[in-house]
């Protein structure tokens, strides 16, 4: 891991530990393992991705336990669930306001920041609908890697 992402990982982890303590959520080995695998790159894994990784260290864990733990994290606001590609839930440890770039081909989801957008007021057509809690932008397309591959085929 590069130094920068290593630091990011450590920040995420210590943030998680602090948040667990603040919410009275017991920091079990299992929960910690699941969060660690979640905080590793690539970001936005599915529950199954995490299950496959966690199983290397926790051989007896079940997919169901992973699902339940992720729901607990989500209920406590420790992670975000995004329902983006193929209707499979993906999980996000980045709790800062951000948006997503989604590749149609490889289904990778990357974060991007758009402060100008975040400062915009919601249009009337949205506020009249009800109370807006949160929102984010999804931009879909082909990532650089997939575009390069596509060009080679054609």
Measured distance CA(8)–CA(4) in Å, rounded? 6
Closer to Zn ion by CB, 55 or 107: give it. Answer: 107
Closer to Zn ion by CB, 76 or 107: give it. Answer: 107
Closer to Zn ion by CB, 65 or 94: give it. Answer: 94
Task: Give the shortest CB-26-to-Zn ion separation in angstroms.
Answer: 26
Task: Give the shortest CB-4-to-Zn ion separation in angstroms.
Answer: 17
Task: Single out the residue of 9, 118, 18, 131 nearest to residue 77, CA to CA.
Answer: 18
Residues contacting residue 100 through CB under 8 Å, at least 6 positions apart: 44, 82, 84, 109, 110, 111, 112, 136, 137, 138, 139
Closer to Zn ion by CB, 71 or 94: give it. Answer: 94
Task: Single out the residue of 93, 81, 4 nearest to residue 42, CA to CA.
Answer: 93
What are the two backbone dihedrals, phi and then psi, of residue 14, each rounded to the nearest 5 degrees? Answer: -70, -35
Task: Give the shortest CB-145-to-Zn ion separation in angstroms.
Answer: 5
The residues of the shown chain that bind Zn ion, judged by CB under 5 A, are 92, 94, 103, 105-106, 111, 143, 146
Task: Give the shortest CB-23-to-Zn ion separation in angstroms.
Answer: 21
Closer to Zn ion by CB, 43 or 71: give it. Answer: 43
The verdict on whether omega for the bond into residue 42 sits within 30 degrees of 0, i.e. cis, is yes
Task: Give the shortest CB-105-to-Zn ion separation in angstroms.
Answer: 5
Measured distance CA(42)–CA(28) in Å, rounded? 24
């Amino acid at each position: 891991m590069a130094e920068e992402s290593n630091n990011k990982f450590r920040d995420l982890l210590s943030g998680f530990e602090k948040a667990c303590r603040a919410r009275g959520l017991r920091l079990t080995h299992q929960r910690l393992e699941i969060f660690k695998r979640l905080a590793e790159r690539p970001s936005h894994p599915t529950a199954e991705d995490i299950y496959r990784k966690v199983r290397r260290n926790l051989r007896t864990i079940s997919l169901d336990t992973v699902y339940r733990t992720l729901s607990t994290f989500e209920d406590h606001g420790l992670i975000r669930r995004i329902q983006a590609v193929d209707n499979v839930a993906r999980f996000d440890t980045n709790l800062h306001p951000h948006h997503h770039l989604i590749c149609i081909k490889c289904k990778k989801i990357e974060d991007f920041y758009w402060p100008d957008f975040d400062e915009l007021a919601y249009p009337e057509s949205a506020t009249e609908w009800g109370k807006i809690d949160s929102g984010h932008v999804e931009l879909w397309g082909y990532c650089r890697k997939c575009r390069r591959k596509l060009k080679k085929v054609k």
